[in-house]
Structure 1
């Protein structure tokens, strides 16, 4: 069971209080984009073995979306941060590099 901390309201709870929203930091393609870009956005997702960035929603709390970095092999949570952030915060990246030196970066 994962223990997550919502960066919006500060509550730490089990993952059952949250809903996973899929991969984070995707480049979205809208009207006027070509079919290949739109298809890749809709259907192509990374499924890494190791560090992964995901979107989560605090459904039984504040209801807000946030982002999380975790390892898919060990389920270690490196940190959470607000959904409006375009890149992972430096302190989370430093924590990932310290614990997972094989990580290639964001």
Structure 2
């Protein structure tokens, strides 16, 4: 098991967290302006980078979303930062 550090609760077991998506991904304009193809790209095409990445995660225990910077190869978490002011 790996420990992730929630910015609100501190270090917790990885099983308490859920991946929320890539950070910085731009959502298309709302329908009807967005095409089905563009919406599909937004939902299903992910960068899946090798190495350093920024991701959004949610801590299920406290319900807070936060930004996690981690390495997808080594699984080392460099930082976690709140997405809201506490």
TM range (shorter): 0.7 to 0.9
1:58 maps to what in 2? 59
Q: Which has the higher strand share?
A: 2
Residues matched between the structures, number: 82
Listed as ranges, the gaps of 5+ residues in structure 2 are none
Please provide the CA RMSD for this pair.
Answer: 1.6
Q: Aligned equivalents of 1:25 and 1:81: distance in 2?
A: 14
| TM-aligned CA deviation for residue 36 of structure 1 | 3.7
| TM-aligned CA deviation for residue 19 of structure 1 | 1.3
Q: Which has the higher helix share?
A: 1
Q: Aligned equivalents of 1:36 and 1:18: distance in 2?
A: 31
Q: Return structure 1 stretches of 4+ with deviation > 3 angstroms.
A: none
TM-score after normalising by structure 2? 0.80
Correspondence 1:1-106 to 2 at 5 A: 1-7=1-7, 9-29=8-28, 30-31=30-31, 32-60=33-61, 62-83=62-83
TM-score after normalising by structure 1? 0.67
